[in-house]
Structure formats: structure tokens, C-alpha cells
Amino acid sequence: MNFLEERIVKDGIVREGNVLKVDSFLNHQMDISLFEQMGEEFKRRFADKPINKILTIEASGIGIACIAAKYFNAPVVFAKKSKSINIEGEMYVAEVESFTHKCKNQVIVSKKFLNEGDHVLIIDDFLANGCALQGLISIVNSAGATVEGIGIAIEKGFQAGGSVIRNLGYQLESLAIVESMDAATGKITFREQ
Amino acid sequence: MNFLEERIVKDGIVREGNVLKVDSFLNHQMDISLFEQMGEEFKRRFADKPINKILTIEASGIGIACIAAKYFNAPVVFAKKSKSINIEGEMYVAEVESFTHKCKNQVIVSKKFLNEGDHVLIIDDFLANGCALQGLISIVNSAGATVEGIGIAIEKGFQAGGSVIRNLGYQLESLAIVESMDAATGKITFREQ
């Protein structure tokens, strides 16, 4: 097990319905030392890519992206979730349909901060069905920029998001891929990487 | 002028209605080198305080708080904004009324991550009327924890939020305090600190 898998086993909580709570270190309380390890590991995995910008989405992707950004010496742009279509100024907009929550959301990024010369690393905390991630990729493509890679903290390997993105040819690196979880025993099985 | 005031003059945009747009470096695209300077400066200003936790609020406080956290060697907790009263589990809840937006919101933090032994530095990007900040202080007090200080990037000194908080006796440190802005000329005047 790597450092993140060990931490998930130690402090993650498995709930009924394939819910994995990691709010004590990842997405409500945030362990910055852990984020630094994650940033270093993303840099190792994307070392050969000419990344000049990191794109994430509010809210829980922001901390990971900001700490990772130090290792890439790049600014971070975070996409905003919006239920409104009343956008001030010039924005890239992606319509994102959540299969889980049965609702449509917009993901928006100002056109000022993403251009065709940009080489983008997308970072987020979780990947399950991948709806938010699909929106971010769509926005990078709208800008004519290049998705150099996608770095995820925890992927639910038993949901479709990851395989769809890999099938599309993107370099998707998830630091921990959960293959299965058992709420009764608390046991978590990770995919060998 | 300090480093943040200089950056505001260089890249900030003044709009009608006392709007200061700093989305190219602070709250949409984020300049991580600048955030590191801000983190160092917060550490200098709160050097004598026994801070063991940083509290911020989604979304645009998170990046600043995470970078600042390195200088305090402390975890970050971010409060969530919620319109719902349907809260799963045990949460501290503050009702926050926005005078600007004429709406009520809830600010919530899990009780697991804030306790009476905690010495908290609150960090946010903007302070104007101070509604969100009042909610964060209320939550720290509900937990029986101690507000050791409040670190803000940009305060609108011509709005009431800052003076209310200082009147209450809190150590509030704003790295830049805007006294006035002129949308016609773009001129920004800062308070001497």
C-alpha cells in the first residue's frame, strides 16, 4: 500500500451504499503534510509533461491543487459550480449531469484564465462517475488548451468514471483506486498499481 | 505599499459599485507564490499565538488557508455553505444573513473537527460586511474553542465588517485594507498600517 492507501485504511470510514468518508484528512479537515506527499507523487507521475496550469473544481479540489501547484510551479484555476445561467462576462460553461444526484449543474471558468497555449493538469479529490471531471475536460477543450493529465486522490474503481476517461486516452493517475468496500467489516480493497 | 497592495494596484480591476476584481491572482486563478508570501506574513503577525488549527470557508478561502497552514504546521478545516437544514451527522451551524445578497445561508462545520482545546486562526480572502466571518467566529465559540486571530487578504475598510470585529477585541490582520476605490480612474487608496 502507498501512503494514501495506508491513510485511507487508518482513518477512512466505510458506510452503507459504497460511501467512503475521508473528511478527517481530505475534504473537510485537510492534512497539509499528506497533501504535500500527494503533490510530490503527482509531480513524479507527470514529470515529463509540460504543465503550466492546474485546473480544479470547488470546493474540495482546491486545497490539493494549491499544494500540488508548488511542485509544478504553476498557477491554479478553480472552476465554479453554478446553478444559474446568469453569468457575468465571458465564461466557458459545461453542462454537467449528475447521475447520482439527478440534477444538472454548470461548471464555469472565466475565458481570461484558460487559453489555447495552456497545458493543463486537472486535479480533484474524488472520481466516481466522473461527471465533474467530464465538465472540466470539456472546458479545457473549449479553450483549445491541452489536457496533459488528470490527477485524482481517490478513485472508486467500481464506478465507471475512471475507465471512461482512460478509454478516451487521457493519462489518469489516481493515487488510490478502491476496488471494493465492505461497510459491515470496514474492509477496503485497492487495485494493484 | 506591501507586496499584496502592489499586486492589487497592478492586477486588480475597480468596477462601479465598489467592486474590486482580483480574480486573476486571488479568487479564481490563484498565484501560489503570492499565497506563500501571504502565509509568511500571517505567520509573522500571529507569531506569538499558539495556533493549532486553521478555519476557513469555501471556496475562495481554501487555497490561501492551505498554503498558510504550512507556516503554522496545522491542519485546515473549511466550513461549508449550505442552504439546506438537512445536515447529516453532528454539525456546528451558524445562520448567516447577507445584507448584500438579501439571503440567509448556513455555515456548517462537523463537530469532529473543532473542539474546546483548539486554538484557531480564521483565514479568508475578503472582508466586507463580515457576515461569513461572523458565522465562523460563532462556530468557533460554539465549539468552546479559542479564536486566536483572523487573517484576511483584502479588507474593504469603507464597509463595517472590520471595525465590528476589532471592536469585539479580536486580533484582525488584513494584509491590504482598501479605503477607497474610483471606478472612473481605477485609483485605489489603502489604509496606512
Which of B67, B75, B110 lies at the smallest CB-CB distance from A66?
Answer: B67
Helices A3-11 and A32-45, packing angle to 10 deg: 150
CA distance B193 to B92: 35
* Residue A37: band (very low, low, confident or very high) from pLDDT cuts 50, 70, 90: very high
With a cut of 0.85, is the ipTM above it? yes
B-chain residues within 8 Å CB-CB of A75? 25, 29-32
% of chain B surpassing 70 pLDDT: 94
**Which pLDDT belongs to residue A87?**
56
Contact across the interface for A28 and B77, Cβ inside 8 Å: yes
Distance from CA of B31 to the nearest CA of A (A): 5
The pLDDT of residue B87 is above 70: no
Write the CB contacts of B143 (distance below 8 Å, at least 6 apart in sequence). B92, B109, B111, B114, B115, B116, B118
Q: Are residues B151 and B45 in contact, defined by beta-carbon separation less than 8 angstroms?
A: yes
Provide the residue count of chain B. 193
Contact across the interface for B58 and A63, Cβ inside 8 Å: no
Chain A residues 123-142 with a CB less than 8 Å from chain B: none
- Nearest residue to A145 (alpha-carbon basis) of A64, A72, A53, A75: A53
* Residue B190: band (very low, low, confident or very high) from pLDDT cuts 50, 70, 90: very high
Instruction: Give the E-state strand segments of A41-127 in sequence order.
Output: 53-57, 76-82, 91-98, 103-110, 119-127
**Which pLDDT belongs to residue B145?**
98
Q: How many CB pairs below 8 A link A and B? A: 94
pLDDT digits (tens, 9 = 90+) for A135-167: 999 999 999 999 999 999 999 999 999 999 999
The pLDDT of residue B168 is above 90: yes
> Rounded to 5 degrees, what are φ and ψ at B20?
-115, 110
Instruction: Give residue for cell 465588517.
Output: B161
The pTM (predicted TM-score) of the whole model is 0.94
**Interface test with chain B among A28, A64, A72, A92, by most B beta carbons within 10 Å:** A28
pLDDT digits (tens, 9 = 90+) for A92-135: 999 887 666 667 889 999 999 999 999 999 999 999 999 999 99
- Nearest residue to A74 (alpha-carbon basis) of A127, A12, A119: A119
List residues bridging with B15 in a β-sheet: B19
